[in-house]
Amino acid sequence: MKTILTSTIEEKCAWFGSEISHNNDWIIKFDDYLLSVLDEALQHITNLGKKAPHFNKDDIHIKDEKFLNFIEEISDQLENGYGFIVIKGLDVKRFNEDELIDIYYILGLYLGIPVTQNMQNQLLGYVENVGDIKNKQTRVYQTNANLPYHSDMSDVVGLLSIRKAKEGGESSLVSFATVYNIILKEYPEYLAYYYHPAYYNHLGGDEPSLSPIFSYWKGKLACRYLRQYIEVGHERKNIPLSRVQIDALNIFEEISHQDNLRIDMMLEPGDIQLCNNYIVMHSRTSFLDYDEKDKQRKLVRLWLKMPNARKLAPDFPGRNGFSQE
């Protein structure tokens, strides 16, 4: 069995942002019927006296065929399509913040299994400017700085927009498969490095853990990347990155930032973005926030373990949250 993919990826996941940004086939909308199904589920949870994330799928019991088909369509698009989807239609004037989060969590429970996002075992992450940007141990999303292209530690990552920033904070996505194709074509001599394990910080435990950037297994490519975590991981292990490793990372960064690769979008309040972490890298621009706390930028993050996720190679550890399933 081949351990390194040496042919171009031709599937839909190998997209250029410049080609799909005006397609809108990556946008799905809640219609009135689906909203009524979700509203009914919300009322049921409310009557039980429960709030996200303190309820599970067994508390909800949605059997509506149209809703279940909707869930199946999203799951298929995440695994076999572009690798990302944006869901619109949640009206922030109709639902308050708690209700939006409950609906979002209901949707997540039907897509997959929520997994923990930190050592405190939190199932919902709040993306706000609350961290110390000068501390290397600060999770990058907890600041208002530019968030580099990366993937998260789960099959799928979801973001629910509650409030936008005063300025900036635009979301940006890049296809791992397209980056791979360009490396294969223009820098084939570096390809093997990306399959060699590197130490990543924040990979599910207190100590840095080993993982390659690319992994090819059972006919599918899987990717994992955040340069800062690789650099900090090697620093903590006192194992300096070699010159060729740094060259390879520089090549990866240079390709990822080509203008025609990325698709940019502003997540409006009520929008939900879902990304397959093995197919798509995500980032966001720096932002300027409001002074008033109740107006400041806020998104809610959800990490999901998916029933239809691709199989992962033994040397590409399947990380779904900080507590392993």
Q: Residue 323 pLDDT more than 60?
A: no
Q: What is the mean pLDDT of residues 192-217?
A: 87
The confidence band for 146, taking pLDDT boundaries of 50, 70 and 90, is low
The confidence score (pLDDT) of residue 325 equals: 41
The confidence score (pLDDT) of residue 129 equals: 63
The confidence band for 168, taking pLDDT boundaries of 50, 70 and 90, is confident
pTM to 2 decimals?
Answer: 0.92
Q: Residue 59 pLDDT more than 90?
A: yes
CB atoms within 10 A of CB 128: 19
Report the range out of 80-89, 120-129, 166-175, 310-319 with the highest average pLDDT: 80-89
Q: Residue 135 pLDDT more than 60?
A: no
CA distance 118 to 241: 26
Q: In this structure, are strands 27-29 and 84-88 parallel, antiparallel, or unpaired?
A: parallel
CATH classification of 17-286+295-305 is 3.60.130.10, yes or no?
yes
| 158 bridge partner residues | 274, 302
The confidence band for 162, taking pLDDT boundaries of 50, 70 and 90, is very high
Percent of the chain with pLDDT over 90: 75
The confidence score (pLDDT) of residue 155 equals: 97
The confidence score (pLDDT) of residue 185 equals: 98
Identity of the amino acid at 248: A
Q: Residue 157 pLDDT more than 70?
A: yes
Yes or no: say if 15 and 82 are a contact pair by the CB < 8 Å rule.
Answer: yes
DSSP 4: S
CA distance 105 to 324: 20
The confidence score (pLDDT) of residue 132 equals: 47
Domain extent listing, the chain: 17-286+295-305
Q: Which two tokens stand for residue 291?
A: 């002074």
List of residues 6+ apart from 290 with CB closer than 8 A? 165, 166, 296
CA distance 130 to 189: 42
CA distance 188 to 200: 24
Using the Cα atoms of residue 188, residue 190, residue 194 and residue 196 in order, give the sign of their dihedral: positive
Q: Residue 144 pLDDT more than 70?
A: no
Q: Residue 131 pLDDT more than 80?
A: no
Q: In this structure, are strands 198-200 and 209-211 parallel, antiparallel, or unpaired?
A: antiparallel
Query: What are the respective helix, strand and coil percentages of the chain, to the nearest 5?
Result: 30, 20, 45
List of residues 6+ apart from 173 with CB closer than 8 A? 17, 84, 262, 263, 265, 275, 280, 281, 282, 283
CA–CA distances in Å: residue 23 to residues 18, 231, 285: 10, 37, 23
Q: Residue 11 pLDDT more than 60?
A: yes
The residue that leads in pLDDT, 8 or 142, is 8
The confidence score (pLDDT) of residue 134 equals: 52
Q: What is the mean pLDDT of residues 226-240?
A: 94
CB atoms within 10 A of CB 199: 21
CA distance 66 to 53: 25
The confidence score (pLDDT) of residue 86 equals: 98
The residue that leads in pLDDT, 22 or 188, is 188
The confidence score (pLDDT) of residue 267 equals: 95
